Amino acid sequence: MEDFEQELKYALARKEQPPSLEAKVFASIARDASARKLSWRWEALAASVILVAGLGAQHAHAVRERVAGEAAKAHLRLALQVTVTELSKIQRTVRASTEDE
Amino acid sequence: MIKFAFITWIALAPLGAQGIKLPSNLDRLAAKATDVVDVTMDANLLQLAARFLSDKDTDEAQVKKLIGGLRGIYVRSFEFEKPGEYQDSDVEPVRAQLHTPAWSRIVGVRSQKSGDNSEVYLKTENGKIGGLAILVTQPKQLTIVSIDGTIDPDQLHELGGHFGIPKVDTRKETGHGKDE
Amino acid sequence: MPTAGSATEAQAEAASDVTFAEVLRANQSSVFSLAYHFLRDRGAAEEVAQDVFLRLYRKIDDIENAKHLTFWLRKVTSHRCIDYVRRRGSQCTIALEDTAEPPAIEQHGDPLLSRRLRHLIATLPEKPRMVMVLRYQEDLTPEEISDVLEMPVRTVKSHLQRSLAILREKIERSMGEIR
């Protein structure tokens, strides 16, 4: 590939998505379910949303629970990420101040 | 004075049993923020998440162990485009709760130059750690973390680099900030 | 999880193991990147990405296989980005020199040149801009781009040719020749 086109590929290399995107997607799914007057609880999604075509009713509940569980995991990950990041930054600042003395 | 305390108490929105109550006025900051993280996980949600954490995955097993004794995790983090979008009075109800005998401030770092102020508090219950709170106030950022329940701060810190949580290099020099 | 009985039940159970969360995690960086490189605004890109995955969640029954999923995501993201720009008008065009860039998943090449190229790409009109992003981020052929954007192949090739010429000229003027 020509050098210039290679540079374009480098310039348009994929970016990391914001860490909160996953949790925000699940939150918007939850809001959408509420807006459609479906009862939304974290423990179970409404019956009209089925993840994979062809699932029978006996599998639908398990699938819905998995989606809810994955959503909870995403929120947990986000909460822990903020916590760990802030704690680490504080530790770094303390360490830097101690080294300055 | 009593009247002020009464009003302050009313303004706090209890979110079930939690280490600290996050004031409801924080919600209006979301409209002014360019980026918001708002997570409320009570015991039920934590249990749900735990059910889907695999014991076979090292990272997930580590997290499962960490959250085993928790009653809740609450995070409010706001990033603003410019300074001055929140006031000390927005944060004061949180500080007031942390300045009670149950809570001890273990770290306080303030920079006169940048205006950054970071505090970490631990709550003791029956001689054990029963909660952790982090309060970070910067000119363009406000972050409040409240973790209610038995928590091991060392286990928490070790999560960096695991479970999709980036590892922050704590050895880097920051060039700002001094101990209070 | 229910235990498998007949062959059909076993297939359904295996399929259900691919959760929406796994689909999201596998595709979120490409969707976000596509939106970001086009819009040059992190918040707007995140908004578009959220919208795309919400639409995917509603339409998941219509997705036939992995290849269809990839095509669907590229198509919807591209169209949502172009709609976003049209709705917001000129306010949406962002090419700030000091915009904080999200980190690249893998960093190669000259960072200064890359940054300059990204700014210049952002100044292209919408359709040629999306053609360039699909070509050089997603590595799509003109025929594939034609399917995604529902645009004749010759138009795609024309956009590519003209955009390359414009960008090359501007870069050479500002930074010197690139062979």
Give the domain CATH number at C86: 1.20.140.160
Average pLDDT, chain A: 72
Q: In DSSP terms, which residues pair with B149 in a beta bridge?
A: B70
Instruction: Answer yes or no: is C6 within a domain.
Output: no
Number of domains in chain C: 1
Please name the member of A79, A88, A93 whose beta carbon is closest to the beta carbon of B109.
A93
Whether this prediction's pTM lies above 0.90 is answered by: no
Query: Does residue A50 contact residue C58 with C-beta atoms inside 8 Å?
Result: no
Predicted local confidence at residue C51, as pLDDT:
94
For residue C11, the distance in angstroms to the closest alpha carbon of chain A comes to 9
User: What is residue B7's predicted lDDT score, i.e. its pLDDT?
Assistant: 29
pLDDT at B36: 84
pLDDT at site A101: 55
- Which one is predicted more confidently, B3 or B129? B129
Kindly tell me if the per-residue pLDDT of A38 is higher than 60. no
Report which listed range, A61-70, B132-141, B171-180, is most confident.
B132-141
Report if residue C3 sits inside a domain.
no
Q: Which residues of A touch B46 (CB under 8 A)?
A: 72, 76
The chain A residue lying nearest B73, using CA atoms, is A79
Substitution target from C47, C48, C53 for chain A, most A beta carbons within 10 A? C53
Q: Determine how many CB atoms are found less than 10 A away from the CB of residue B124.
A: 13
Give the pLDDT score at A60. 56
**Rounded Cα–Cα distance for residues B178 and C21 (Å):** 42
Tell if the CB–CB gap between B46 and A76 is shorter than 8 Å.
yes
- Could you report the predicted ipTM of this complex, rounded to two decimals? 0.81
What is the full per-residue pLDDT of chain C (179 aa) written as tens digits? 333 344 444 444 444 445 677 788 889 999 999 999 999 988 899 999 999 999 998 888 788 888 889 999 999 999 999 999 988 764 444 444 445 677 777 667 788 889 899 999 999 999 999 999 999 999 999 999 999 999 999 999 999 999 999 999 998 888 766 55
Per-domain residue ranges of chain A? 19-100
What is the reported pLDDT for B139? 94
Give yes or no for a contact between B159 and B63, defined as CB atoms under 8 angstroms apart: yes
Q: Which residue has the higher pLDDT, C85 or A96?
A: C85
Beta bridge partners of C75: none
Q: Which of C46, C57, C137 sits opposite A14 (nearest CB)?
A: C137
pLDDT for position C97: 45
pLDDT, position B128: 83
Q: Which residues contact B41 (CB under 8 A, 6 or more apart)?
A: A72, A75, A76, A79, B49, B72, B73, B74
What pLDDT is stored for residue A56 in this prediction? 54
Strand partners, B108: B119
| pLDDT at residue B52 tops 70 | yes
> Contacts of residue A70 in chain B, CB cutoff 8 Å?
52
Label each residue of B52-80 as H, E or C: CCCCCCHHHHHHHHHHCCEEEEEEEEEEC
Q: Which residue in A6, A16, A59 is closest to C105 by CB distance?
A: A16
Among A10, A64, A67, most C C-beta atoms within 10 A, so best to mutate, is A10
Cross-chain Cβ contact C164/A13 below 8 Å: no
Domain that holds residue C56: 18-100+109-175
Chain A's closest residue to C115, CA to CA, is A11
For chain B, give the percent of residues with pLDDT over 70: 83
The 10s digit of each residue's pLDDT in B112-125 is 888 899 999 999 88
Looking at residue A66, its amino acid is: R
- CA B151 to mean position of chain CA atoms: 13
Reported residue count of chain A is 101
Per-residue pLDDT, averaged over B151-180, amounts to: 66
CA distance B45 to chain A (A): 6
For residue C30, the distance in angstroms to the closest alpha carbon of chain A comes to 6
Place of tokens 């001055």: B84
Span B44-49, mean pLDDT? 88
Mutant choice from A45, A63, A80 vs B, greatest count of B C-beta within 10 A: A80
